[in-house]
A and B are shown apart, each in its own frame.
Chain A
């Protein structure tokens, strides 16, 4: 589906480096992109989308050449069939949720139907006539995802889409993301720092460091669940839990059920 080799100068805290990544993605694959900040993750995504011009290499997607340094080929972002979800969501502030989607879907066959379907499957129907500024972070994120899908992309690029959200919202949206990825038969690249998120969603993970591939392979399995006793219910949906070795940790309360004091709880440490 996607085959690329990209070279670009990087300005890192450790001085100038070169981003150099060669990768082939199978159709339907979900790749997580991880690594410390400044490693070149966002740069790589922007190069794939055509928002920046690489210094060398090539990009081929679904049999179409998007970029080729040798043959001087370059397809502007407008002509690349992809969806991009920005870290700040980049929703158009003067348009309602529905108008944001309609703007993206303009020119698509059966656009009205597509918009209604997207609003329904991302639980946005009730918010359709509101503007982005009055929505919560999680709601804005769903709009950004719906808008990216309104162009019927084959490739979906997500720049840390869930990092600014609280844990329950994040977990709910991970599920949405997994469903969308399957339902729309997408090939997806997702920037994420959260090992649990990566383990839950990704087929493979690419770890970057200073522009170079440090590791490419299956996600590392999440840590084994811990067992502890709930000693306090804190404001903001948090719990204080005492582990078997008497250490105290604070975790997010399960979104699905009520927790009582003194209860034994099995949970995973994430984040």
Chain B
């Protein structure tokens, strides 16, 4: 067992959990707006949301690194006005994860919203229900499989994140060194057994999460809606 095993694992899970929770809060309104909005800028926003799917993580990481540093206006504002330095901190890699995993939350939710028949929303409105009540009581329960999908994919995807974290966070044990980076470090130092401990853990966790997702989805589909 590597010496930092539990510390690294705790950090990895904390990053995935925080990313998933925050992305749920940020992703729901965004997915709602993309699913039901009629703005002509919608394709633009959709493209931005999907960019992390096609860009190398190092590209995202590089631009975030530059943006957070004092060579950019945003970075200078963060550092000088707010006293927040994001590079090589947990909050830095959290912001990076939010960007990196955004499509994994927004796309399933957007599809889920799109699949709920329009008449269900309208029926709630004619019954005097506000948009928020309709979202909470009608839409979200009806699109539960999509919700679960978004949560699980975001969590699992953040667990496997490497390039973005490496660029913004480096490899500081207990602060930014998540499991995927620990594997890389151990291999660099020729500690194959220790790399294997991390790799096997990630493999196991990812597998269990996906099995649970498909099992729940199957059970959900089997029972009358």
Contacts and interface: CB of A to CB of B under 8 A. Distances in A.
Interface of A: 49-51, 76-80, 82-84, 86-88, 90-95, 103-104, 107, 131, 133-134, 147-148, 150-151
Contact of A84 (B126, B141, B144, B225): B126
Contact of B125 (A77, A88, A107): A77
A92 B120 contact: yes
A90 B117 contact: yes
Nearest to B120: A90
A76 B125 CA distance: 8
Identify whether the interface residues of A are mostly helix, strand, loop, or mixed.
loop
Q: Is the interface of B mostly helix, strand, loop or mixed?
A: helix
Nearest to B144: A94
B142 A51 contact: no
A77 B131 CA distance: 11
Contact of A94 (B119, B127, B129, B142): B142
B225 A51 contact: no
Contacts of B225: 93-94, 131, 133
B3 interface: no
Contact of A103 (B117, B125, B137, B144): B137
A91 B224 CA distance: 13
Contact of B128 (A86, A93, A134, A151): A151
A87 B123 CA distance: 11
Contacts of A82: 126
Contact of A86 (B122, B138, B141, B224): B122
A86 B117 CA distance: 12
A106 to B, nearest CB: 8
Contacts of A107: 128
Contact of B127 (A50, A104, A134): A104
A94 B141 contact: yes
Nearest to B130: A78
